[in-house]
Every structure is written in C-alpha cells, then in structure tokens.
Amino acid sequence: MIGAFEGIDGAHSQLALDAYFKARALTSASTLGTPSFRSAAVAVSAGRADVGIVPIDNAIAGTVRDGYDLLLEFDLVPIAEIVWRMDHRLLGVPGATLDGVREILAHPLVMAECGKFLASLPNARAVPCEDTGIAAREVARSGNAALAAIAPPSAAVRYELIELAPRVADHPENFTRFIVFRARGSSDPGYAVDESDGPRKTSLVLVTSNAPGSLARCLAVIAQAGISLAKLESKPTLGRPQQAEFYLDIDGDLLDPDHAGALAALRSAALDLRMIGSYRANAHVAVAAAAAAPHVPLSVIRDVLPKPPKSASSSSATPRAARDSRPHGTRVRVDGVEIGDGSFTIIAGPCSVESRQQVLETAFSVRDAGALMLRGGAFKPRTNPYAFQGLGWDGVGLLAEAGRATGLPTVSEVMSIDQVERMASQIDVLQIGARNMQNFDLLKAVGRTGKPVLLKRGLSASIEELIAAAEYVMSEGNPNVILCERGIRTFETATRNTLDLSAVPVLREKTHLPVIVDPSHGVGVRRWIAPMCRAAKASGAHGIIVEVHPNPPEALSDKDQALTFDDFRAIVAELERVPVFTGATPVEV
C-alpha cells in the first residue's frame, strides 16, 4: 500500500497519513512525497499510489479549496477524514536564538495559522515554502542561525533542529481536517469496510440560484432528514454572478439508502449538486482525543522518536558545499535577483570605481543593456603597490549610490576582516578576490555576515580547494555562496590567465552552489571576452561577471580587458541566442 502526500518526510500530511496507516495496522504501507496537492491527486488517479491525502480545512485558516476541488476534478473517492492537531513550533539550528531569527520558512497555510506569532517578530520576515518538511530540511541544511522554520516537533527530531518557540499557532486547538482518498474504480484498499460501522460524513458542492430563499430550501431538506450540517462555506463562482456555490459537510452518510429521499429532494432544490462522497468521520480518533493534551516538550518527543538516519553527505570533507546535501541546487537571492534559479545572470560594471560620473554612467548603461547586478572595486588588490589602489570607502559609497540610482544590487571586493562589517552594511554581495581565496580568517568573517558572497577561484587553486574555501564561508552559517571561475595560472601566456571552463560542469556536479564565470580576468583581452561569455553560458554557468568602462583606454585598472558600452550591448545580444542550460547539473541530459 502506497499513500501519496504533498511534501517531503516530516510534512504534516505525511505524519497524518502515517498515523492513519499505523492505527489500521497497515505496517507495510509507505508514503510517497509529491510536489503539490495536485500531484498527490494525479499519483492516485494514475495508479502510482493506492491512496492519497489532502487537507480540506483548518480550524484557524479556514477552507482549503484546493482539497475539495481536486477531489471533484479527479473524481476521487474519499475514504476517511483525519482530524489532525497541527503542532507548530518554531525550529532553528543548534545555537540559534529567537532574537537572531531574520527569516522564517513556512507553508503558506501554516503562515495563516500562525499570523499573530509572526506579527510579534518585527525583525523576521516569513518566506513561503512549498512544504513544512522542506522548510525544516532547508533550515537544517543552511546551518544558518538567522533562518527558522515552522514545523512539527517530529521534524525537529528528523532534521536535528532545536525549538526556538513552542506552539506558535494562533490558538492551541489548531486542527486540520485531511481527507484520505482513493481512485474511483480502483480496488478497495481493503480497510474501507472496517470503517463502515463508525460515524460518517458527506462532502458536496451545492450550486443554487441567487434568488432569495434558494439556499434556505436546500438546508430545509437537510434539516427535515434529521441530519446536521457540519460546515457551510460559500465558494466564489467567477463569471456567474446569478448563481452561488457552497462547500457543504454533512454529519451522516447522505449516500446511505435511508437518505435516498433526502438526496433526491436536495438535488431538485439545488441548481446543481456535485457529490464528493461520504467517508468515515474523524478516523484518527487517537489524535483527536489528544486535542486538549498539554504541550509536549521537544526533549520528551526526541527520546520517543527513532533517531534520523545520518545523511551520506556528512561523511564528505565539505558536507555543506557537497552536491548531495542539496541535490536540487542552491539559489542565492540578492534583493530581487536570484542566481542559480535556471536563468542566466549578467553582472557588469567597472573594474574600479573611479568617479561618481564614471560609475553612474556605467551603471545606467549596463542596466539598460540587460545587466542585473552592478560590480565595482573600491579596494583593489594590485600587484604593484604604486598602482591605483581604489577609492576605498568613497568608492564604496559611490557604488552604493549607483546601485540605488539604477535599482541594481551591488558587488564589491572586501580585502580584509576590518572592512567586512562596514562593507556588508552598504554593499549587497561581498566579493572575495582570487588572491584572498585561501584567506581563511577573511572567509570566516564574511561567513558570519550571512550576506551573499561571490567567491573567486584562486590563481593557482584547484577546484577542490575552491570548494573547501566555500565550505569555510558556509561553516560559519552562511549558505549564500556564489562560486566564480576567473581563470588560473598555467604555462600559457597568450591570455592573462587560462579560463578553465571545464570547472563549470565539475563544480556543478560536486557542489549545489551557483557557478558564474569571469571572462574579463580569464582572458584579459577585450576582443576575446565575447566568445568566452558565450562559451560560459553554453557550459552551464549560472551567469557571468564582466568589466565595462565608459572609456577603456583611460581606465585606472585593467584597461586592456574593459568592454565599451557598445561591446557590452553586443555581448548581451549574442547571449540571447545561446540557450540557458536548465538541467540540475550540466552532466544530466
């Protein structure tokens, strides 16, 4: 027996389904996680699962229309109702505190159930997450103390999280009603029969005309049959103002032959009656009885539940960066821009910020051409101490101003630990330059900021060393690392460095972090940048970073590789013709 639910292990639906199987001694039954309520319905319709589960309403948030609508749309047969107590707790990684939380991952329905609690945390914003289990898993994987999830205590045990706040739902008596269903025509899963002697409920959708008294006539039929109404909620009928629709739950089995007369009368009183079906009411009695149970501390639950299996990735030397710790890849969010989401992100701007006029002019030009982020160095790692060293904090201020003026998030290099905090307050992405890739204390310092980090590969660093450097940042609790291939030192002198594009598929296979390419520093010669931009996109990179200057011959640093505004526009146009690679890893076809 297989039961389909929305989410991954630890989701409330899965817990409810599991408990249901256990209560019926279906010990060999297993659960199948699917991406949505709809896909759970599809799995059952297509015979990939014997039963499925969807919520139909919650005591605080109200009707889950999707639940009723999917049962109707797929003509599924409801078997049983499970009234499940939603024990929502705020969970974080070990060491996290409630005060330190800035983002809370939660299923949108759960957010609605915990509105008062969420409003009591002014410094934290709620981020919708596809499922409760995923919310808990993502927090665990992030290792980030600023991230928390709303999930049940069993998810805390499974994902080794701690409780930051107990029972965070708006009311302790917070129940969701789930429906377990099967496909019509499928063989009876075998236990519906033993349900037959318990109390039953019937769900249906009733359509009435908007004329006065039409709903009352239908309700009178139900009253006369001596059965009570458990729920009545109107359902918007878009585009049909002359009729009204209602979700109805009735205590009793309206399909029972005893009620045949009532059902026929109801059908004739209504414009239309769409029967969802009748099912065993409140099938999971044990949980319902626990409604008034006191809050159970996590420490007690932890002792009772089996320990979670250790993930394979924990044996890796770089467990946080390893691909298997996040098989679907990481998206690094920088304001509205997401790197690693399957699109191709172009970052452009001058090598160095030289003046207000220069950075503003460049910022507007690259933005209008299609760049999504603005780069610009203020602290420059120059080989010669007498070369232009950057404008320092004045440059940071000018870059931030250009970012605000254009709406582009900004990227700038941070060279020392004492610059980190101030830079993090003004700039959106902290760049670690090639020369600092193994400056481990600096890596830890940017790790502690939680800000997105653009980590460049060292001049003579192996791919393994680049991943280990990323692990340094992540080990401090910052999962927001973007890797950058910018060329390495080889015996070749024709180009400034040797742009190792083969690092792209290798990195994407070995890690879940987004990978971008810097062809400017890779080849060092203006006219060779465009072909390598195209190659970078074709190789599966998530984006590029290039240097652009209003007047390259006058650039104070890296003038030979600075693109003109026209060059940049041409590159963006050419890149349009290179398809973006959408597989999870470039080696996956």
Write out the residues near Mn ion by the rule CB under 5 A. Answer: 351, 558
Does 433 help bind ligand PEP (rule: CB under 6 A)?
Answer: yes
Question: What gap in Å lies between CA 518 and CA 536, rounded to an integer?
Answer: 9
Min. distance of Cβ 355 from ligand PEP in angstroms? 17
- Which is closer to ligand PEP, CB of 381 or CB of 531? 381
- Which is closer to ligand PEP, CB of 89 or CB of 521? 521
Of Mn ion, ligand PEP, none, which one does residue 50 interact with (CB within 5 to 8 Å by kind)? none
Q: Segment near ligand PEP (CB under 6 A), from 286-294, 358-366, 433-441, 509-517?
A: 433-441
Residue of 56, 46, 20, 15 lying closest to 33 (CA atoms): 15
Query: Residues 66-75, buried b or exposed e (16+ Cβ, 10 A)?
Result: bbbbbbeebe
Min. distance of Cβ 397 from ligand PEP in angstroms? 18
Of Mn ion, ligand PEP, none, which one does residue 486 interact with (CB within 5 to 8 Å by kind)? ligand PEP
Residues 443-462 within binding reach of ligand PEP (CB under 6 A): 456
Alpha-carbon distance values, 408 to 336, 402, 443 (Å):
9, 8, 25
Backbone angles phi, psi at 418, to 5 degrees: -70, -15
Residue nearest to Mn ion (CB): 351
Alpha-carbon distance values, 88 to 101, 166, 287 (Å):
17, 8, 15
Binding mask 354-393 for ligand PEP (x = CB under 6 A): -----------------------x---x------------
Among 177, 320, 486, 512, binds ligand PEP (CB under 6 A): 486
Alpha-carbon distance values, 137 to 14, 146, 314, 476 (Å):
15, 15, 14, 18
- Which is closer to ligand PEP, CB of 8 or CB of 399? 399
Q: Which two tokens stand for residue 1?
A: 């027996």
Q: Segment near ligand PEP (CB under 6 A), from 58-66, 216-224, 431-439, 444-452?
A: 431-439
Min. distance of Cβ 457 from ligand PEP in angstroms? 8
Neighbour-count burial of 535, counting CB atoms closer than 10 A to its CB (0-12 exposed, 13-18 middle, 19+ buried) = middle
Q: Which two tokens stand for residue 273?
A: 């009656």
Min. distance of Cβ 389 from ligand PEP in angstroms? 12
Q: Segment near ligand PEP (CB under 6 A), from 85-93, 170-178, 228-236, 428-436?
A: 428-436
- Which is closer to ligand PEP, CB of 186 or CB of 498? 498
- The answer for residues whose C-beta is within 8 angstroms of residue 358's C-beta and 6 or more apart is 350, 549, 550
Binding mask 505-534 for ligand PEP (x = CB under 6 A): -------------x--x-------------
- The answer for residues whose C-beta is within 8 angstroms of residue 37's C-beta and 6 or more apart is 6, 54, 55, 66, 67, 70
Min. distance of Cβ 125 from ligand PEP in angstroms? 31
Min. distance of Cβ 472 from ligand PEP in angstroms? 17
Query: Residues 222-251, buried b or exposed e (16+ Cβ, 10 A)?
Result: beebebeebbeeebeeeeeeeebbbbbbbb
Of Mn ion, ligand PEP, none, which one does residue 381 interact with (CB within 5 to 8 Å by kind)? ligand PEP
Question: What gap in Å lies between CA 206 and CA 234, rounded to an integer?
Answer: 9
Q: Which two tokens stand for residue 521?
A: 């520093």
Does 351 help bind ligand PEP (rule: CB under 6 A)?
Answer: yes
- Which is closer to Mn ion, CB of 351 or CB of 442? 351
Q: Which residues bind ligand PEP (CB under 6 A)?
A: 351, 377, 381, 433-435, 456, 486, 518, 521
